[in-house]
A and B are shown apart, each in its own frame.
Chain A
Amino acid sequence: MPKLIAHHTPDAMIAYAQKRTLTAKDYLRDSIQLARLLPNQQFLLNFCKNRYLFAVGMGAAAINRQTMLLPPTYNQGMLFQLQRTYPDSYVLYDEDMPEIAEFPRFQLEYPVLSGQSAAESQNKAESDFSVPDIPAEHVMAYVFTSGSTGEPVPHAKTWGSMTRNAQAQLQRIMEDVNFRNSAFAVLATVPPQHMYGLESSVLIALLGGQALSAAHPFFAQDICSELEDLPRPRVLVSTPFHLRAWMESGLDLPPVDLIISATAPLSARLAESIEAKFNAPVQEIYGCTETGQLATRLPTNNPVWQTYGQVEIVRAMGSNDGVDSSVAKGDYIASPTELNDVIEIIDKSHFKLLGRKADQVNVAGKRSSLSYLNYQLNAIDGVQDGVFFIPETTEKTHEKSGETRLAAFVVASGISKAEILKSLRARIDAAFMPRPLFMVDALPRNSTGKLPHRLLTDLARSLQTEQSGSAQEKH
């Protein structure tokens, strides 16, 4: 049966939190103690920002055989839906309590234990380092994708699959960089509540026998000071968006021994400049919420992706939409899953990524689909017709002017633009808010009722010219 953690000795490092080091023994003591205190609902929303507290919450929930709910976004609309579908839930949090009144809540503070109870459990733990077993089939988390009909779609992650996933990731890291058998410390700029952050910071530490930084750095300066607090070898887990801002900050960047990037393609130029700066490899991970991480590559070395462990990427059978589809299966993937990207298969464990399917959107590494966003837009009272639109960009414009945002066209009556934006903000992640939102009299539907991208591009262009013209008149 898989264990709660992979660390073999009680004194193995498991976390660095606010300049304190925490060992496997500390983690077990905290998780076991917390397990006795947690509410006994079946599900929990783990809002902890401190990554160590998140990991303790997850460990305690595993011991209690509870399941974490990890939605793609935490706005009111999403939380309301979860509340309705999973009423038997509670909220675990450390700092800011999200506004969901109906769920019971439990606040976790750092350090988790203090005073006598800490000393007592310390004594007990020292004499006895027994790591709890967690059944492989225990569903540790439902990770949600937004779906296309407004209902979030759950993807079950079992303890067994998480364990296998972490082992495969650890093996690949060891193949790609020589850490001379020392355990490494991970700092992540991505939150543990999303699949990539969960796998590459929390799971790699707990189930790969490594250590995590409790921090969630945001600004470039934060990344530097948190890195400085970690022993080497150090691994930075981040996204192209954060890495670009960090590299351009002009700061004196501390040494890093491996840089991992995921959520969006990393430009070759950025990957090369990172490797030159740190004399350390950049590893890119490819995956999705449905399957978790699937493959890696060293982008400056080879554009080809290699799958983890026994994971296979194969051509989809019976796909009827005329678009080539690929399916990931095997190893820790519960059931064959169709991928949302256009993939050139080389063999079952190697492939090239050619782009994403037309319906998919990616803003600063956050993913959604146009069909989901369009559903949410059209569900607003007063919106008669509306459509989201991905403006055309190139890598060059992207690097120069930052993230490309979506645009939207709306036909509405009895509702203002500001009111539409407000309703939309409660329904979708802020990253996908349309910028700009064009109010129009009609959408340029063709004779079959479709909205060709070319017609929308033309409309956007003419409306933008009109707008900048009228803005100039004001001066």
Chain B
Amino acid sequence: MNSSVENIHLASNFESEIANLIVTTLNLEVASDQIDLDMPLYGDGLGLDSIDILELALAISKQYGFQMKSDDPENKTIFSSLRHLAAHIAANRTK
């Protein structure tokens, strides 16, 4: 409970928006304010897999107007945490 309250303070508005996108796109059972900014999105963190990543990439392309690519050398970092994903979207969005 305390940690989630803390996260609200730590996460920027945009990071909260992305957390929300993740939860609604993937029908996750966690509340978006419980996704820790630095928790790994894959595996033992939030538990996302490649199916989720493709769904998420589609949602991001629709909402923010840019496409993910496999040959992006930053891909491992981009999906490593909410903080990195939000930063990547913020830097590349066209809408």
A351 at interface by CB-CB < 8 Å: no
| Alpha-carbon distance between A425 and B48 when the two chains are bound, in angstroms | 11
Size of the chain A interface, CB-CB below 8 angstroms: 32
A126 at interface by CB-CB < 8 Å: no
Interface stretch (choices A99-107, A213-221, A322-330): A213-221
B73 at interface by CB-CB < 8 Å: no
CB contact between A430 and one of B49, B61, B68 (< 8 Å): that residue = B49
Q: Are A221 and B68 in contact (CB under 8 A)?
A: yes
With contacts A421-B47, A436-B29 taken as known, whether A218 is within 8 angstroms of B54 at the C-beta atoms is yes
Closest to B5 in A: A474
CB contact between A431 and one of B4, B29, B44, B51 (< 8 Å): that residue = B51
Distance from B29 Cβ to chain A, minimum over Cβ atoms (Å)? 4
- A249 contacts which chain B residues (CB < 8 A)? 58, 61, 67
Distance from A97 Cβ to chain B, minimum over Cβ atoms (Å)? 16
CB contact between A250 and one of B4, B31, B49, B61 (< 8 Å): that residue = B61
CB contact between B58 and one of A220, A430, A474 (< 8 Å): that residue = A220
With contacts A220-B58, A220-B61, A425-B43 taken as known, whether A403 is within 8 angstroms of B69 at the C-beta atoms is no
- B47 contacts which chain A residues (CB < 8 A)? 421, 425, 433, 435
Q: Are B67 and A221 in contact (CB under 8 A)?
A: yes
Q: Are B29 and A403 in contact (CB under 8 A)?
A: no
Contact code string A218-250 (vs B, CB < 8 Å = 1, else 0): 111110010000000000000001100100111
Q: Are A363 and B67 in contact (CB under 8 A)?
A: no
Contact code string A191-222 (vs B, CB < 8 Å = 1, else 0): 00000000000000000000000000111111
- B62 contacts which chain A residues (CB < 8 A)? 248, 250
Interface stretch (choices B11-19, B20-28, B84-92): B20-28
Distance from B86 Cβ to chain A, minimum over Cβ atoms (Å)? 19
| Alpha-carbon distance between A402 and B26 when the two chains are bound, in angstroms | 8
Q: Are A245 and B31 in contact (CB under 8 A)?
A: no
A276 at interface by CB-CB < 8 Å: no
With contacts A218-B50, A431-B51, A474-B1 taken as known, whether A245 is within 8 angstroms of B58 at the C-beta atoms is yes
With contacts A402-B26, A433-B49 taken as known, whether A245 is within 8 angstroms of B55 at the C-beta atoms is yes
Cross-chain pairs A/B with CB under 8 angstroms, 23 sampled: A218-B50, A218-B70, A220-B57, A220-B58, A221-B68, A222-B71, A241-B51, A248-B58, A249-B67, A250-B62, A251-B67, A363-B51, A364-B51, A403-B55, A422-B44, A425-B44, A430-B51, A431-B51, A433-B47, A435-B47, A467-B29, A471-B31, A474-B4
A interface with B by C-beta (< 8 Å)? 217-222, 225, 241-242, 245, 248-251, 363-364, 401-403, 405, 418, 421-422, 425, 430-431, 433, 435-436, 467, 471, 474
Closest 5 CB pairs of A and B: A430-B49, A221-B67, A436-B29, A364-B51, A219-B68
B interface with A by C-beta (< 8 Å)? 1, 4, 25-29, 31, 43-44, 47, 49-51, 54-55, 57-58, 61-62, 67-71
